[in-house]
Amino acid sequence: MTIKKMTIPIELLFSLVIVAVVVTIITLICVDLNKQIQHVNKNIEATVIATNILENINSRTYDGLNEYIQNLAGTGVQKKINESTQNIIIDGNQYDENFFGTEIPKDYIIDFTAVRSSENFDIVKEVNIIVRYKVFNEEEKFEISSAIERENIEECNSPVISDTYFQELNFNSDEYDIIPIKFSKTLGNFVTTNTNDSEWYNYSAKKWAKVLIFSRDADNIKDLFIDENGNIKSSVNYDNIVLDVTNYIYVWIPNFSIKDDVTYFRYGTSKRAIKMDFQYLNGKYLYLNRVGEEISNISDDCSFDGIYGVWTKLGDESNIYYQNFNRTKYAPINIY
């Protein structure tokens, strides 16, 4: 018996080759497309991780940032810290906690570095955050950088001029003029000023921030006291009655407390003390205020809970805040 040898038409063979090539190309395209989709998705997630970490860092005080880094520990954490550089590596496959308030997913590694930019003083850090991940066993990364500056913390909380802070005194900006003032030694009288004036107050010198408050329905008493140049008279005659300017003065008492007979201003609405600090290197001093430990309230009635400070009438010893503050080293007030 003769076996006939089968032959494949050249046209069919060519078609099969074309199909195979097309299938191969489609497969390669699908693989590449899948790779690109994973790359985009993972890059987006890495971007969110890095920006969330940076936002959390920016919400902290400078000292709070250093404290967090010092206390950070756990499985999946590697730290290398010296005088000028802080480096932290977080392995998301091992670390189960949040890093700067951010969950680190599996397969992501965070490389965080903070470098002190000044040779002399720790006042600015250059922060760099790298989020590493793999796409089809190829390492990818997203990187973001920023500069974190030490806060310029004042000696005490700045005065707040808003209706919220005058509502206990039954004043509001619709019915009353609230005018910052200071004493001019050159002119020998009070003058109007503004909240940006560096000479408005100085609590170390017992110069409390002061404002004049006039009712807008009080027959232009404000115009009797204040001339067009902002000079303020010490007294005026109104309807045959002598009015003294001090009767219209209100003073700012910043958030403060006392511990072991030492008076501390406290930062913001918190209970944490503002403390003078200094850094010294190579014969140079830099004086800075920093946020320290918590100082408990003087009493339930003098707590400053949720507020930066209070406004009270000058000389009002019935006010619990004025009463206590007037017995500190920042008193008695230097009116002039």
For residue 114, pLDDT beyond 70: yes
Across the chain, mean pLDDT equals: 89
pTM summary value: 0.69
Q: What DSSP element (H or E) covers 40?
A: helix 10-58
Distance (Å, whole) CA 255 – CA 251:
13
Give the tens place of pLDDT for each residue, 77-110.
999 998 889 999 999 999 999 999 999 999 999 9
- Contact between 311 and 305 under an 8 Å Cβ cutoff? The reply is no
Distances 148 to 75, 125, 128, 273 between C-alpha atoms, Å: 27, 5, 10, 22
Indicate the SS3 state at residue 184. Answer: strand
- Measured CA to CA, the distance from residue 247 to residue 119 in angstroms comes to 53
Please tell me the predicted confidence (pLDDT) of residue 287. 76
Q: Residues for the chain: how many in total?
A: 336
Phi, psi of 75 (to 5 degrees): -65, 135
Tens digits of per-residue pLDDT, 254-295? 999 999 999 999 999 999 999 987 766 566 677 778 888 999
**For the chain, percent of residues with pLDDT exceeding 70:** 86
